C-alpha cells in the first residue's frame, strides 16, 4: 500500500471516529453521510453533501445581505428624496407627544416654525421640487408622520420576519435532508457491506 493510500485510509478512520463520537451534530452528520459503514470515503455522497451545504450557506448569507441592502436603499431614498435624516433627527431631539408642546420645543430650540418650514422647503428646492410641492410635502410630513412612521416600521418588521422565517425554513429543510440521506445510505451500506467489515 502506497503512502497516499495510507494517508487516505488513516484520514477516513479519523473522520469515522469523529462521527462515532458525535453522530447527531450538524456538520458531523454531513461528514457521516460521506463515509460508508466500513469507514471508507464515498466521493459521490461527499459531493452531494458539499452541494447541499453550499446551498444552505448561500441562503444564510444572501438573504440577510438582501434584507440589509433593501433597508439601506430605502433609507437612502428617503434621505435623498423625502426628508433629510439630519433634519429628522434634529426635530426628534426635542420631540413631545403633544403637537403643541413639540412645536413650542422646536421654536424654543431652532427658531420659529416658519423658519424650520423654510429650511425644509429650501432643501426640497435643491432637490428639484417646486416651491409648492416642497410646501405640500412639508405639511403632509408634519401632520402625517405617525402614519408614515408606523407604515415604515410595519413593512420593515414584516420584511425582517419573512427573512428570518425563510432562514429557519432553509436550515430545517437542510436538517431533514441530512437525516433522510443518512437513513438511505445506512440501508444501502447494510445491504452492500459484509457484517465483519462494519465499523458502526
In the chain, where the domains are located: 3-197
Q: pLDDT class for 73, splitting at 50, 70, 90?
A: very high
C-alpha cell at 154: 410595519
pLDDT in tens, 126-153: 888 887 888 888 888 888 888 888 988 8
Q: What is the structure's pLDDT at 76?
A: 93
Q: Is the pLDDT of residue 115 over 90?
A: no
Grid cell digits, residue 32? 457521516
Q: In the predicted model, what is the mean pLDDT of residues 92-107? A: 86
> What are residue 96's phi and psi, to 5 degrees?
-140, 145
What pLDDT score does 184 carry? Answer: 92
Q: For the residues 12-18, what does the mean pLDDT come to?
A: 53
Of 174, 185, 184, give the one whose Cα is nearest residue 26. 174
What pLDDT score was predicted for residue 111?
81
pLDDT on residue 16: 55
pLDDT band at residue 194 under the 50/70/90 scheme: confident
Average pLDDT over residues 53-69: 89
Report the chain's mean pLDDT, rounded to a whole number.
83
For 34, the grid coordinates are 460521506
**pLDDT in the model for residue 21:** 47
**pLDDT confidence bin for 3, thresholds 50/70/90:** low
For residue 40, what pLDDT band results from cuts at 50, 70 and 90? confident
Contact 30/50 with Cβ under 8 angstroms? no
> Model's pTM, two decimal places?
0.69
Distance between alpha carbon 139 and the CA centroid of its chain, in Å?
36
Q: Which of 141, 152, 146 is nearest to 87 (CA)?
A: 141
- Pick the residue with more confidence: 26 or 110? 110
Nearest CA to 29 out of 6, 45, 8 is that of 45
Amino acid at each position: 500500500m502506497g503512502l497516499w493510500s495510507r494517508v487516505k485510509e488513516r484520514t477516513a478512520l479519523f473522520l469515522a471516529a469523529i462521527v462515532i463520537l458525535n453522530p447527531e451534530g450538524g456538520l458531523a452528520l454531513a461528514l457521516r453521510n460521506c463515509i460508508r459503514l466500513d469507514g471508507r470515503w464515498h466521493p459521490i455522497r461527499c459531493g452531494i453533501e458539499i452541494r447541499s451545504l453550499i446551498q444552505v450557506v448561500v441562503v444564510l448569507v444572501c438573504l440577510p445581505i438582501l434584507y440589509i441592502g433593501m433597508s439601506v436603499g430605502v433609507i437612502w431614498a428617503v434621505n435623498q428624496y423625502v426628508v433629510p435624516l439630519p433634519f429628522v433627527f434634529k426635530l426628534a431631539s426635542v420631540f413631545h407627544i403633544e403637537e403643541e408642546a413639540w412645536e413650542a420645543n422646536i421654536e424654543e430650540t431652532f427658531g420659529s416654525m416658519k423658519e424650520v418650514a423654510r429650511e425644509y422647503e429650501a432643501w426640497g428646492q435643491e432637490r428639484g421640487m417646486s416651491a409648492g410641492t416642497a410646501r405640500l410635502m412639508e405639511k403632509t410630513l408634519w401632520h402625517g408622520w405617525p402614519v408614515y412612521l408606523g407604515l415604515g416600521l410595519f413593512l420593515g418588521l414584516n420584511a425582517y420576519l419573512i427573512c428570518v422565517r425563510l432562514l429557519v425554513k432553509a436550515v430545517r429543510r437542510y436538517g431533514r435532508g441530512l437525516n433522510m440521506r443518512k437513513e438511505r445510505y445506512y440501508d444501502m451500506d447494510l445491504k452492500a457491506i459484509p457484517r465483519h467489515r462494519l465499523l458502526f
